[in-house]
Structure 1
Amino acid sequence: MDFRRLKYYRHHSLILVTSGDRQILSAIAEVLTTDKYNFITETSGERAWEIIQQKKPAVVIADWTIPDVSGLALCHRCKASLEHPELVATYFMLIVKASNSQQRQIALETGVDEFLTSPIDSAELKTRLRTGLRLTALMQSLTWTNQRLLSQNELLDALSLSDPLTRVLSEQAFDRVMPNIMQQFSEFGTYKSFGFLSVLFIEIDHFQPIVNDYGASIGDETIKAIAGRLSHACAANSLIYRNGSASFACVTPHHDTDSCIQLSLNLLTSIRKHPIAVSSGLLFPLTISIGGVVAALENQHQQFKSISFSNLVDLAQHSLLHAQKSGGDRDYIEISG
C-alpha cells in the first residue's frame, strides 16, 4: 500500500462505536466528527453485531458493559466467526475501567487489540485510532501485495494468510511474501523516515513439557494466548507470524535501533508479567527467548538490496540460539549495516 494514501484510508474506513452509555457515545462521536472520520454509533450490542456482519467496519470500539451483548462477547464473535472469517482482521478496541486489570487480562485472551479507558480521553482516543487504522491499512496492503506478486496458482495456495490457531499471519506468508515486503519497506523508507528493519525470532521457553504433561489441546490454548499477548505488545506497524509449533517471527520498520530494543523488551515483558491462563483453570508462568537482527534501510537502498532475506533469517536464528543458550527469558539483537 502506498503510505501516501493512508490519510484517505483513515477517513474512508468505517468505525463502529457501541455502548449503552450515551455520554460515552457522545464523547467519542464528538472526536470522530471533529476529525472527519466515517462512523456509526449504536446502543444495542445485538444491533452492533448485525452492523459488523453487514458492513464489516475496519475498527470496532465497544464498551465492556452493553446491556444485551457485552463488548467482550462482540469481540469473541468477531475473532471466532466461522460465517465471516474476514472479521478476524477487525481491529477491536474495548472500553474498560482504568483500574480493572482483570478486565484487561480476560480481554487480551479473547483477542482484543487495544483498550480505551473510561471516561474517554480525546487525545488517547485519537492516538489509538491512528494506530488501529494504520495496522488495518498495512494488513490490507499485505493482501494486495500478495495478489500482485503471486501467480494465480500460487495465490490459491496463499489465500489463507492467517494461522488457523493463533490468528496471526501464517508461516506460509512469512516464507513466500516477506522477501518482497522487505523490498517495499526499503522503497518507502525515505518517505516514512524508516531507517531500519528488524526481524525478531521468538520461541517459548520450556514449552514441550506442557504438551507432554497436559496434552496437545492445552498446548494449543497456551500458544494461542501467547500469540494474543505478542500481538498486543508489538508495534502498530509490526507483522507477527507463526513460525513453527512454538515459535513466532516479528518484522517491524523502525526510525532507530533503540525502538527495536524497546520492542523486544515489550514482547519479553508481555509474557513474563503474568502467568498464561487456559480454560481448565491452569496457570503457566512462561517466558520467551528472542533473537533478532536490525538491518539499515534509510538512504542505503543499494546496500539493503545486497542483503538477502535468507541472510537476515540466518542472523536472527543465530541470535535466538544465543539467547536460549544464555538461559532464556532474554533477547539478543544484532545490528547489521
Structure 2
Amino acid sequence: MSLYHLKSDTYQFSHNNQPRVLVVSTNNELVKQICSILIKYQFAFEIANLGEQAWQMINRNCPDLVICDWEIPDMSGLALCQRIKAGLINQSLSRVYFVAVIADRQKEQRAMGIEVGIDEFVYTPIDEIELSLRVRSGCRASVTAKLLGWTKQKLAIQEKLFKALELTDRATGLLTQQSMQLGLPRFLAELEQQNFDRTYLNLMLLGVSQYEQVRDKYGNRIAAEVMGAIAGRIRNKVEADSILCHYGCESGNELICITTNIDPNCINDLGQRLLAAVSTHPIAVDGGLLLPMNLNIGSVVCQLSADLDFPQLIEQGHQLLAKAKQDGKNCMRIADISAQTPIYTA
C-alpha cells in the first residue's frame, strides 16, 4: 500500500499516454513533498514503499522515470538502479530514467551512482522548480529512448521479412532457401494432383570444396563472383525443369538441385556432368584470377509425394555430402531411399 494516498486515479500509470513516474521511499514527508510537486506539474505517478515492491511494479508496468530515495530498508536506491539498468529480464528497463534523492552533495555517493547508471541527482530539501525540470527532461529522454528502441525492433523485423520475401539470391541468381521451402511443397502437390508421370524425386546437395579458402583469401566479393559462375555452369547442365537453390546462404558454399522427372539409373550420370562442369576449367574472376574449384555431391532419390519431409531429405543429403567429402574432391554419394535399401555410389 502506498504511504501517500491519492483521491483521484488521475495520477495512476493507466492515465492516457502521460509520462509515468514511480516514487520509491519510506520517508512519508519526502513522499508527500515529491508527490505534491508531481501533482502540481501534472505528472502521472505511483508510489512504492520498498525496493522489492518497486521492482515488481516496474516489471508489471514499466515507468518512464523513477525517483528513488538513496536509503530504503530492504534495498538501497543504488541496488535498485543497478537491477533496472542491467535489463536482464527486460531490455527495455535499461532505458528507464533514474533520479536518486540524496541528503547532501557528497562526491562519493555521486561517483557510486554514476557508475551503476543513475541518470540524475536531486538533493534534500527538495527544490520544486529543480525537481520539475529534471522530471520533465528525464521523462522526455526516457520516452525518446523507448521510441528509438521500438524503431530498431521494427526495422529488424522488417529487414527479416524483406529478406524472407526475396525470391532469388543476388550472388547466384538462384532461388533462396526461404523461397524454395515456401514454394516447393505447393509445386509438388500440384504435380501429384495432375498425375504427371514423374514418379521419382532426386535431391542433390552440392558442396563447393574451396569456397571458404577463396572467401578468406580474396574476400566476400570474389567469393560471391565464384558462386555466381558455378551456379551458371550448373544451370547449363541440369534438366530443363530442375529446381536450383542457393541453400547455404549463410555459409555460402551449398547449392541444391531438385529434379522430379528423372530415372534413378540416370542420377549418377547427372552428378558426373555437374562435377565435370565445375572442375574441368578454372573459374575466371575479376582481376584476371583463375581459380580451380571442385564439387562434392550428396544425392537422395525417393518416390514423389506431396507430403515429403523435406527437412529430413536435406538432412540425409547433408550426411551423404559429408561422406563424399571424406572420399576426396569431386566425389559423390547416392542413396535410393525409395528402394528401402540405400545404395552409396562413389
Q: TM-score, normalised by structure 1?
A: 0.49
Higher gyration radius (CA)? 2
